[in-house]
Structures are given as structure tokens and as C-alpha cells.
Structure 1
Amino acid sequence: MNSNRWWHTLFAATMAVLTTIALSNLIQGRGDEIRALAAVALLVVAYVTLGRRGFSDERLGRGFAVVLVLCSGVAVSADASMAIIQCIAMPLMWILLPRIRDAVIGNAVLALVIGAAMSWSLRRESDGVVQSILTEALSFAGSLALGLWISRIAELSEERARLLDELRAAEAQVEALGRQAGITSERERWARDIHDTIAQSLTGLVMLGQRAQRELAAAAPRPSGPSGPSSPLSVTLHLLEDTAREALAETRSLVAATAPVDLGAGITAALERFGARFERETGVAVGVVAPPDSGHAEHRSPRDSDVVLLRCAQEALANVRKHSAASAVEMRLTETAGHVSLTIRDDGRGFDAAQPLSGFGLNGMRERVSLVGGHVEIESLVGDGTIVSVTLPDVGEVPASGRPTPLRAGVTA
């Protein structure tokens, strides 16, 4: 905007000089100054209506360039001294015509028109034609050299700005990667600490409960005695062992959820590994249905989306472990219309999905998914299982989904 203001000022100053020259010559009775003044007046009107907006509108700029050439020719044909108009006309060609080729052509046409008009105005002088040719040749050469030089400087400036933007983007990416690496490292440390402390202590509690059961059975072999298997002490030991097992299972789930995600072979392979581990730990059959190629290295869905999907699968299976009492789970990965979806379905006891969620798990899943522009849908009825659907935007390409796998015990994909 400031640079345009300078151009407006320079144009106004040039028009004032031309008007002064024309009026002076008119007073002295030289030349056809009325025609020159009319051309200047028309050029001013055209600049106000077209030229000012031509700096940002290429179509208007081209229109004003045509008017500029015509008015310059008329003014110079009336008075050769009006050729001073090219001091503003030639630079304006470089500004109003954004492409270098167009600016060069515009300057060439302007030089030819002014040269012809000057030759006509100086036709009575013996060297008028030669003088006109030399003047316009030098003017065109100077405008061409200066315009190309400034255009090159502008190109270098734009290239420098682009490189700076790329550098800033790269620095931001490095910073984000460093931050993510720090988060991953801290998660790994927490997982190791939990595994080496709490998990080991809970394992010890389970073993102590089993040992106490055996010692109690050995000390009081009679089944109906006060210290037998049905005694209050035996029931308490069973409760202690079961509670320790549940706490150990939840601790292992927490360790698995905070461990780094291995997606080297793709999201499908990661889901299959996690499902197999869950099946070994709980006895709940887990089936994975996914495109046949989505687990390979050429699968191009964004890594951030894969991580979010895997974490959602972990959270859904953790809820199955804690609350569902299911016998089978199916995880289905599909892509439709630029979105990748993961659906986790179980045949457990279900719950009333219309009631507000009180736990952190599903709410945390929704928050995690919303951060990457996705959404979570939960369908469940008491006694009829639960379906959790996670949908994320995906710029990658995933082939059509594989053949459905029925939800039944022992099914794997």
C-alpha cells in the first residue's frame, strides 16, 4: 500500500509537470497544446478510474496500459516536449503488467508510438526523425535494463522469502519432533517404572495369595472345618488373589497403553499384535478385519492417524477387559470418502449409551480423536454388546475393506 502511494504521488507530479509545460507553450503560442492538455486530462481520469486499481487487478492494469499508450502518443504528437511522459509511462508498464514478457512488449509498443508521434511533431526539422529514433532507442534500452534488473531482484526476494518460510516450517517440525520424542521417552520411563515396581508387587501379592491358599489347605484338609476351603479366611484369600490379579491386569494394560507404538509394518499389523496379546491375556477371541494391503509399508495413511487409531483400540479393549464380560471382539479398519474408520464391536453385556459417561476412558478417547479432526460414535444396549466407531480424516489411500469376519469365539483375521 505504501509503495502504491509513492506511485500515485509520482504520477501526479509528472502530470503536473506536463500540464505546466503545455500551459507555458500555449501562452507562447507553440504547438497544439489544446490537444496535449486534453490527452493529459484524459490520462488523469483513466488513472483515477482504472490505473489505481490496476495495481491489484491485472485486467484493469492492462486496460490502463492501453489508454496510457494512446494518450502518450496523442500528447507527444501535439508537442514533442510532452515526451517526458515516458518517465512515468515506461515504469508503469513494469508495474501494471506482471509478466516480464508482457512488460517488455508494452515498453516496446510505447517506445514505437512515442517515437512515431515525436517524428510527426518534429517533421519540420531536418533531424527530427533521427532525434526521435535515438531518443526512444535510449529510453527503451534504459527501461529494459532497469526493469529486468529490478524484476530479478524481486524474484530473488520472493525466493528468499519462500526459503525462509520453508526454514521456519522445518524448524517447527524439528521442534515438534523433539517434543514428541521427549513425550515418548517419558512414557517409556513411566512404563518401565510401573512394570518394575507396581506390577512386580502385584505379581508378588498374587503368588502370596496362592501360597496362603495352599498352606491353608495343607493345615486343615477337612472341607467342612473352620479353616477349610469354605471358611471365611479362605474366601478372603480368594478375594485378595482376585483383586491382585485384576489390579495386575489393569497395570499391564496401562503399561501397554503408554509403551511406544510400533507401526513399522502398518496399522493392521499393529492391531493384530495387540489383539493377539489381549486374547492371550484374557481368553477373549479377537478378530481383525482390514484391507489386505493396509498393513504393508506402502500404506500411506498419516502416522498420526495410525497412532490415534491404535490408542483408541487399546482403550476400547481395556473397557472390554474391565466391564464387558465379552467372549469375542472384532476390530474392523475401513476407508470411505477420504476418511479412515476403526470399529470395535464386542458381544458383552453392554450398557445404556444414553446415560452420561462417568469414566475417563471413553471421554479421553473422544478428546484424543477430536484433536485430529475426527469423531467417536458409541452404540450400546444393555445385554446387547457395544460398538465403538472412530472416524478420522485420512489423505492416504487404503484399498477396499476386506471380507467381513463373523464375530464368534476363536475368530482371527
Structure 2
Amino acid sequence: MNTRHWWDIAVGLVIIVLSAISAMNSEYSVVERWALVALLLSLGALYGAVLRRFVPVQIGLDQHDTPAIYSMIGQMAMIALAAATVSLSADMMNTMVIVLPLIWLSSSGTRQAVLMNVVATSALGTAFAFNQGWTTSGNITAFAIAGISTAFSIALGLWISGIANWGSERARLLEELTEAQSELEAAHRESGAAGERERIARDIHDTIAQSLTSIVMLAQRASRESNPAQTIAVVEETARDALSDARGLVAANATVAATASAPFEASLTRLGTRFARESGVQISTTVELSQQLPRELEVMLLRCVQEGLANVRKHARAGHVAMALQRVDQEIRLTITDDGRGLGGATIDDERGFGLPGMRERVALVGGTLSLSDAGGDGVTLAVTVPNPEALTQESLT
């Protein structure tokens, strides 16, 4: 049950008990008894009709937004009825157990609650003194009760209000945190979608786009040849490879080789052979590995080989290319060296599109590095260095 329901029960029980006590007290006349019962029932009706709406459903979280003047009018009426009962019977000072807390619950702020508490205890104390006949002892007792009740009511009210405010602030902060987490999750999803789009774009560039470029170049060469049968055969093979790559991308498992089960060394050799047939550039391939690499790392290295050979074909004007993949200490190193015209002052950052910068991003995803340098004279050396998975596994075990 919420706060309002608990107060319905509390107010109802207090009204019923005090009404029963008043009706059964033989010291009162019949008129006094029924007058007390009528005042108490009026107090209960006032709570149900007016004051109840000001009691928050949950303290600290659901405060009313009605102007203070309306709740103050209801409080003044409640104080008047309670003071009237006390003026007829001193036992009715027990009405303070609901009057003072209801003032705190129905007030629009701390200032109103403190003010109305002082008014309530003063009115009830005056009514008590009136009931005692304005005697010295009665006056002392009345205003002692009023003073003590005021002090305790204000102290407890401020303490409970502080706890309620703290709970309200905590709930607000929790709501803000929840909203921030939702925004962060949305940002992560957007970032993941953007990263996935970039990955797909790199895959398309490194597979289908390069194959189509090769087909265009081969078709141009075939148009200049008197007997283009061999070139046309290469065009057909390249087109089949492009179709295989497209199917692999659709299946979210793009592969460079014609079959996903092809050994890594065979895939490298096949890439070199196709490059030599397409470009007429001689190529030598060296693979020195002591263990099989993870599939993700193999795909990344194959993409780098594709991009490196594509750049040699487009820019280097080379006659020979040496491709090597080997384990060096705790690293896997891929190098592609050509004997072409060199860099000419170009750097990785000068590249536009999805060329070398895209390759560098792909290498960085596995914790590796990419470098491009002159090969000690004519030509260029492209080097990809990544951590050795076998070494990383051994370190994690130790």
C-alpha cells in the first residue's frame, strides 16, 4: 500500500477510537458526548474530502502542486475542529497524533509546515487551558504540552523531510543515470553500426572492387592483343573469384580463397600467382610459420596482401615483388617489397579512400602496426606487424 492508504487507516482508527471513548465516558453529558462524536466525525470527513488529496502517494516523490492557500485553509479547518474537541474534553489532546503529522504531509513547503505546527499546538494548548478553567496548573500543563509538542513535531518533521528530500534527489539522480545509460547504449549501437558499415566497405573494397578493377585492366589488355584467349581465361577466373567473394560477404564470412577451407599458405600463393598472371610482374612468396593462425588474423593478412599487391600494380611500375610472412620473436611479420619507382615523398596519410588508411585501421583492430618505407634504393617495402597469438596464449597461461 502507498502512503495515502496507510494514512486512511491511521486517521480512521484514531477517529473511531476517540469517538468510542467519548460516547462511553459517563462523566460527560449526552450533549457533550454527541458533540464530541460529531466533531470527530467532522474531522474525519474533512480529511477524506479535503486533506487526503494533499497527502503524497509516496513521500518525497509525488508531491501535490495545488497552491499553498488551499492546503492552508484545510489545515486551519482541521486545527479548529481539533481545538473544539479539546475544549470539550482534555482527552482529545490525542488528536495531535494525526493533526501534526497531517500538517507536514499536506504542506507545500517547510515554511508552511513549521508555521502551521506552531498555530496547531498553540490552538490546542489554548483549548486545553480553556477546558481546565484557566487555572494556573492547567495553563502550565497546557502550554508545556504545546511547547514540547511543537519542538518534537518540528524536529521530527525536519528530519523526516530531510530523508524524503534525500530519497527524492536520489531517485532523480537514478533517473538521470538511467537516461544517461540509455543514451550511452544508443551511442554504442550507433558506433557499432558505423563500425560495421566501415568494415563492410573495407571488405567490398578489398575483394569485389579490386577484382572488378583487375577485370577492367585485363579487358583493356585483351583488346590490344591479337590472341587474347589467355587473358580472357584470366578474366573469367578473376570474375569467378569476385563472385565467390560476393557470396562470402553476403554470408557474413567473406573469404579471399575460392573455398573457405583453403590453407593459408595456399591462399597466399594463389594470390601471388593471380597477381603475376594479371600484371606480368614476377613474384616470389615465402611463408615461415610454426603454427596455424586464427582465422580472423588470416583474413586480415590476406586483405593486406590484396591491397599491397593492388598498389604495386597501380603505382609501382615494378618488375619483381617479394612477399614474405614469418614469425619474428614474439610477432608475426608480413612484408611486400617491390623494385618499382619508390614512394616519391608519399606517406600513408597521403592516401585517400579505402587504401592504406583502411589497411592501417584493419591492422590496428588486432593490435598491429603498418609501415611503408623505401626499400633501400628503388622500390617500396610495406610491412605489417602483429602480435604472435601463440606468445599471447603462453603469457596468459603464466
Q: TM-score, normalised by structure 1?
A: 0.49
Which stretch has the larger CA shift, 142-151 or 42-51? 42-51
1:30-49 paired onto structure 2 within 5 Å: 32-49=32-49
1:50-65 paired onto structure 2 within 5 Å: 50-55=50-55, 58=66, 61-65=71-75
What SS class does the counterpart of residue 98 from structure 1 fall into? coil
Give yes or no for contact 1:22–1:36 (8 Å, CA) kept in 2.
yes
Aligned residue-pair number: 225
What residue in structure 1 maps to residue 103 of structure 2? Answer: 93
What residue in structure 1 maps to residue 85 of structure 2? Answer: 75
Show CA shifts across 1:267-290 (max 9, x none).
xxxxxxxxxxxxxxxxxxxxxxxx
The equivalent position to 1:106 in structure 2, one of 96, 101, 116, is 116
Alpha-carbon distance change, 28 to 40 in structure 1, aligned in 2, over 3 angstroms: closer
Deviation at 1:26, TM superposition (A): 4.8
Structure 1: 5+ residue stretches without partners: 220-226, 228-232, 252-413
Q: Which runs of 4+ in 1 moved over 6 A?
A: none
Give yes or no for contact 2:129–2:135 (8 Å, CA) kept in 1.
no
Deviation at 1:8, TM superposition (A): 1.0
What residue in structure 1 maps to residue 199 of structure 2? Answer: 189
What residue in structure 1 maps to residue 21 of structure 2? Answer: 21
- State whether structure 2 residue 126 is matched by structure 1 residue 116: yes
Give yes or no for contact 1:119–1:128 (8 Å, CA) kept in 2.
yes
The equivalent position to 2:141 in structure 1, one of 125, 131, 137, is 131
Matches of 2:192 and 2:140, distance apart in 1: 77
What SS class does the counterpart of residue 123 from structure 1 fall into? coil
Deviation at 1:107, TM superposition (A): 0.9
Matches of 1:156 and 1:79, distance apart in 2: 40
Matches of 1:176 and 1:46, distance apart in 2: 51
Matches of 2:189 and 2:36, distance apart in 1: 70
Matches of 1:201 and 1:6, distance apart in 2: 77
- Structure having the higher Rg: 2
What residue in structure 1 maps to residue 181 of structure 2? Answer: 171
Q: TM-score, normalised by structure 2?
A: 0.51
Matches of 2:223 and 2:28, distance apart in 1: 128
Aligned AA (1:197): T
What residue in structure 2 maps to residue 370 of structure 1? Answer: none
State the percentage of identical aligned residues: 36
Aligned AA (1:156): W
Matches of 1:32 and 1:207, distance apart in 2: 114
Matches of 2:123 and 2:134, distance apart in 1: 19
What SS class does the counterpart of residue 95 from structure 1 fall into? helix
Larger RCO, structure (CA 8 Å, separation 6 or more): 1
Give yes or no for contact 2:54–2:105 (8 Å, CA) kept in 1.
no
Aligned AA (1:83): M
What residue in structure 1 maps to residue 216 of structure 2? Answer: 206
Matches of 1:159 and 1:31, distance apart in 2: 52
Show CA shifts across 1:291-321 (max 9, x none).
xxxxxxxxxxxxxxxxxxxxxxxxxxxxxxx
Deviation at 1:215, TM superposition (A): 2.7
Give yes or no for contact 1:119–1:132 (8 Å, CA) kept in 2.
yes
1:139-288 paired onto structure 2 within 5 Å: 139-216=149-226
Give yes or no for contact 1:36–1:78 (8 Å, CA) kept in 2.
yes
Show CA shifts across 1:344-373 (max 9, x none).
xxxxxxxxxxxxxxxxxxxxxxxxxxxxxx
Alpha-carbon distance change, 31 to 148 in structure 1, aligned in 2, over 3 angstroms: farther
What residue in structure 2 maps to residue 407 of structure 1? Answer: none
Structure 2: 5+ residue stretches without partners: 57-63, 247-398
Give yes or no for contact 1:36–1:76 (8 Å, CA) kept in 2.
no
